[in-house]
Chains A and B, each alone.
Chain A
């Protein structure tokens, strides 16, 4: 909730300050020069979708904001501002106990709180042999964790049934109640021991969310040394290889099938129910059956990706054939083309833009499916890397993997779009 509120505040602040800065300075510097631009000449921009272009400054600020919040809530060294972290250092609290003889005595617990990866000791305070049955004690706690003060063991007569702690810092306390003390909270367990939880602050613990620089250094480390003896390129390469194999097989079967369905009513009728039934089934729902039929290794994964790509490519090819302007076909026939020549020279090239659209969708779906399939079972792969890292609570590897998967998925789409521009430049222009 706090993070969401902060995010909204930063969004509003960024917008207001951008408006302020661009209105005051940029208009004088740039906009006057660019006023020949047609969009700048528009007086009506609200409701005119064509004049809404993504503001790249907003995009950059958006990414910066996400990183800033991430860094601020993980105590990163990359940004100077942080939300309060967990308490570390030394603190103490006192408690009063009552023994079997109904005597009451006070003792102090000295606590030292430190980070998990630093080695630190209990406070080295000399514990005097005081009067009274309750004895002072020392305690060592790791930040974000809790520790028990074993008062029954430490105090004289603590093992007696009647022995109990009555007050903490002069506040009455009984079983499963807690008292707020300086830099933390003390509570009594059902066994009668005291439990101390130091203040956690607002930062995330690294095992929930590591700081950005830790993720980055983990990326460097894994790209050099690999993860669990498998190099990063090997992991990602295997995933890409599976996607490519599944996609190519799916296209190889799907495109001719789509053509047949677009050109022949028997094929259309025969395969229509199959395609329409299989199309809405998410490929992930097929994983259990695929595992039963083909096992969990490469055959299974490639069959799954084949099925994921097949229906998309079939429908794309069918749409490409159905979408041909009948004038083009008529023109080709009256120019003397045979059926086969019409197929090769008119129907196939005419369907390319649709097939490319289908290929872009299919590659995206395949990439998502391969990662999910590797989560289930794999020896190598991007999904395998993050699932095994999650089993060891290596959150930095998990986050690094997720970011890599996202970047690669985006990269695939950009490459497909570039290929589309190069190979079917007439798309959308007829």
Chain B
């Protein structure tokens, strides 16, 4: 996936305009897990919406497998923060939504749905209604629904943002495991520095006004999990290099927020 000089300018009703993104270029290799971090207003959601095809950039373009992205498509799956499941369908029908839109008969996708339910740890929940599930379980369904479509890239817009801390840790493990098992390219937006460090093979820190990629890190932590699937995530979070990086990035974002506010808080 190639992001070529993306810029995005929104015109406001009062005549002024806001540069949400300016000259963002990026090469994403197949199978990479990229986490995107930044203070609010740095354009990271705009970036993801452009990648998904929901927004058209003012200039520049996105290419996936040498094809220019012109709208949403099944090859770029998306996982939202919450509320994107279809309440009127059972868990099974939610997961089978992508295949059934392509005309794959239900009987054919059933075995795949069962397999995915097993993978995300929701064995036996196939016939439940989604509104009966807890927030964490609903996000597991959302992940399974995305995987059922077998996309090339998975875009995650703060997928764990609405979950409590404990569920969040479990789900971080699940995302890493899914990445490791499926080898999908994943781009994940998050507010949490710890989550970005832990999950991202590459970590992009974005800065606002105008939105751009401020700094890029190569991180070893996700790979640790890939090479040793028994490793405890809590142990990684305690490692001194992890703690150092966390403090460094926190300080960086802290400074950006101060710049936005224009004062020392």
Hey, which bits of chain A sit against chain B, CB under 8 A? 325, 327-328, 330-338, 341, 345-346, 349-350, 352, 424-426, 429-430
Contact = CB atoms under 8 A, between A and B. Distances in A.
Contacts of A328: 83-86
Contacts of B53: 333-334
Contact of A332 (B71, B97, B102, B142): B97
Nearest to A426: B87
Interface string B2-39: 00000000000000000000000000000000000000
B179 to A, nearest CB: 19
Contacts of A426: 87-88, 129, 131
Nearest to A350: B88
Nearest to A331: B84
Interface residues of B, number: 30
A325 B131 contact: no
Contact of A349 (B73, B86, B149): B86
B84 A336 contact: no
A160 to B, nearest CB: 95
A335 B129 contact: no
A355 to B, nearest CB: 13
Contact of B72 (A334, A346, A349, A350): A334
Nearest to B154: A334
Contacts of B76: 334
A424 B88 CA distance: 8
A335 B86 contact: no
Contact of A327 (B84, B87, B98): B84
A430 B87 contact: yes
B265 interface: no
Chain B at the A interface: SS class: loop
A336 B83 contact: no
B101 interface: yes
Contacts of B73: 334, 336
Contact of A334 (B52, B82, B83): B52
Interface string B41-58: 000000000001110000
Contact of B80 (A330, A345, A425, A430): A330
Given A325-B84, A426-B87, A337 B52 contact: no
A113 B155 CA distance: 93
B102 A336 contact: yes
A335 B52 contact: no
Nearest to B81: A327
B120 to A, nearest CB: 16
Contacts of B78: 330-331, 334
24 contacts: A327-B81, A327-B82, A327-B84, A328-B83, A328-B85, A330-B54, A330-B80, A331-B145, A332-B101, A333-B53, A334-B74, A334-B76, A334-B78, A335-B74, A335-B97, A336-B73, A336-B98, A336-B149, A337-B97, A345-B101, A346-B86, A349-B86, A349-B88, A430-B83
Interface in B145-185: 145-146, 149, 155
Given A334-B73, A345-B86, A346-B86, 19 more contacts: A328-B83, A330-B52, A331-B78, A331-B84, A331-B145, A333-B72, A334-B53, A334-B72, A334-B74, A334-B78, A335-B77, A335-B97, A336-B73, A337-B101, A345-B97, A349-B86, A426-B88, A430-B83, A430-B131
A425 B72 CA distance: 31
Nearest to A342: B101
B143 to A, nearest CB: 12
Given A330-B72, A349-B88, A352-B88, A335 B83 contact: no
A335 B73 CA distance: 7
Contacts of A352: 88
A421 to B, nearest CB: 13
B194 to A, nearest CB: 25
Among B53, B78, B87, residue most surrounded by chain A Cβ atoms (within 10 Å): B87
A429 B77 contact: no
Interface string B79-110: 01111111110000000011001100000000
B84 A330 contact: yes
Contacts of A424: 88
Contacts of B54: 330, 333
Closest A-B pairs by Cβ, 5 of them = A336-B74, A426-B87, A327-B84, A333-B72, A335-B98
Contact of A425 (B85, B129, B146): B129
